[in-house]
Structure 1
Amino acid sequence: MTGTPGAPPAAQPIRLAHLDAHSYRDWAATEHSTVILPAGAFEQHGPHLPLGTDALLSSAIAEAVGARTGAKVAEPLSYGYKSQQKSGGGNHLPGTVSLDAAALIAQARCIMAGFLRQGVRNLVVLNGHYENYQFLYEAADLALEEVRAGQGASHGAGPDPTVLLLSYWDYVSEDTLATVYPEGFPGWDIEHGGVLETSLMLHLRPELVDMDRAVSHPAAELPRFDRLPVVASRTPDTGCLSAPDGSTAERGRLLYEQVAADLAADLTAELGLPA
């Protein structure tokens, strides 16, 4: 079946997985081609949130940024580095299935280098799992090194590709924090399965949230050091480091829209993307 003569071309999808290979090839060769690679984990988030929370949130924010900037969104890294007790409850908890550092670096490096070798000018790694960050940095550094070594064959005389790495929560503004946490922000170190993630999920994927199973309890009190093996009793029984008390879809909408808008503005300015 052919298209209607004179009809405007259909808009391309934001998700690369929904784009055909020839359209991708042509798009990747354009001056401002930018891929956003979400990164998450397969990690317990208490009794009320799904195991895929980190990848679901980073992917949703990536798509919102893509819609504002013209960037395309790759499939997420859905398994992450080992959950740590002071940031994710701990790798000992049921439901958490993790990669070790070498595996995460190797997987991320291959994916990043693959896009960059094919001519993508900018790669934005949008992290949604705290423990991933330094290993994604290492992967990006190695991928760039690998691509530059073969640049003569794959990129011609074009400019070097660029990789940006960030965690979405770094874009939550002070004003947004004051609205979402009217009694005071308790700190990022215990925001696991708490108000931020729960509110975002209530806004973006409410069908995956069961607030009837949410538990109110004091925030975890953890030492300033890491101990191996972990003392399991230091993690609250829920697996959450703070309670989701006060989580609402409206607060999630505020977080989502503010982060996506500010991140899109930063990428546009930093990468010279068309406004």
Structure 2
Amino acid sequence: MDSVHISELSWPVYDEKVRDGRTMVLLPIGALEQHGPHMSMNPDVLLPTAMAERVARKIGALVAPAIAYGYKSQQKSGGGNHMPGTTSLDGLTLTSTIKDVLKEFARHGVRKVAMVNGHFENSMFIAEGVDLAIRELRWDGIRDFSVVVLSYWDFVTEETIREIYPYGFPGWAVEHGGVLETSLMLHLHPHLVDMSKAVDQPAATFPPYDFFPTKPHWTPCSGCLSSAKPASAAKGKLLLEVCVEGISQQLRTAFD
């Protein structure tokens, strides 16, 4: 049992690896969210999990099963929670889930966790869950538990952006179901992508405010916020390599 995945280990093997607190645990967190007519609804889970797995092998860490549901899709970054298939959690539920999972890892002996986020809308609820977990662990006398929170797209370098988007970068806010995610999925899970159904559309534009309840007509009919047509497996390979290397480099020293 030499897997980096916690779920594939027996409990004695897992216990031996984590009880002294030296082994880092990577916890992917994503969402079940539509990503256009050309792609499955699970990139936000599959992509951070793939990166966590490769990072773990590089730095000697373990990978926890992903938290597969995320916070509600927002219209200007994910198309909106009204879209069919998108299945979301309330903020309180997500925060509590993160807090409980982190406290359980601490109970096992884990002292270093890196949360690898694949869904933009999760960000502040991750921060709240981490903060509450650390506070409650301190009440229990555990004061040496630390967490890194990262989103994989923040490790895409400017040089890589220029190479991936030679025609101009639309911005991460509208890269939902676009070139980044589609390229990574073409490289990692090509059977879940059908480029014949990819819609060629301009990047979505929105007013400088949010509106509730959602106005469905603001969202492009495809559910994507930019075109996936320029995506390719070669771009996905480059993106994966850049992100894995960048994350690995940072995590080697983050807990020093």
Deviates more, 1:78-87 or 1:110-119: 110-119
**Fraction of identical pairs, as percent:** 46
Computing the radius of gyration over CA atoms, which structure comes out larger, 1 or 2?
1
The equivalent of 1:268 in structure 2 is 252
User: In structure 1, how many angstroms separate the alpha carbons of the residues matched to 2:85 and 2:230?
Assistant: 25
In the TM superposition, 1:116-127 aligns within 5 A as: 116-127=106-117
DSSP 3-state at the match of 1:99: coil
User: Could you tell me which amino acid in structure 2 is paired with residue 127 of structure 1?
Assistant: N
How many residue pairs match? The answer is 256
The letter of the residue matching 1:191 is E
Alpha-carbon deviations, 1:178-229, whole Å to 9, x = none?
1110112110110000000000000010011111111111111111100001
Aligned runs of 1:1-275 on 2, under 5 Å?
12-151=2-141, 160-272=144-256
Which residue in 2 is equivalent to 1:6?
Answer: none
Q: SS state of the match for residue 271, structure 1?
A: coil
Letter in 2 for 1:228: F
Query: What's the TM-score, normalizing by structure 1?
Result: 0.91
Cα distance in 2, alignment partners of residues 218 and 185 from structure 1: 12
Alpha-carbon distance between aligned partners in 2 of 1:65 and 1:92, rounded to the nearest angstrom: 34
TM-score by length of 2: 0.97
- Partners of 2:40 and 2:236 in 1: how far apart? 16
Query: What secondary structure, in the 3-state scheme, does the structure 2 residue paired with 1:125 have?
Result: strand
* Distance apart, 1:271 and its partner CA: 2.3
Q: CA deviation at 1:31?
A: 4.7
Report the Cα distance in structure 2 between the residues aligned to 1:179 and 1:203, rounded to whole angstroms: 17
2:254 is paired with a residue of what secondary structure? helix
CA RMSD of aligned residues (A): 1.1
How much does 1:32 deviate? Answer: 2.0
Contact 1:199 1:247 (8 Å CA) reproduced: yes
Check conservation: 2:33, 2:42, Cα contact below 8 A.
yes
Contact kept? 1:117, 1:147, Cα under 8 Å? no
Letter of the structure 2 residue corresponding to residue 237 of structure 1: C
Aligned mates of 1:235, 1:74 — CA distance in 2: 34
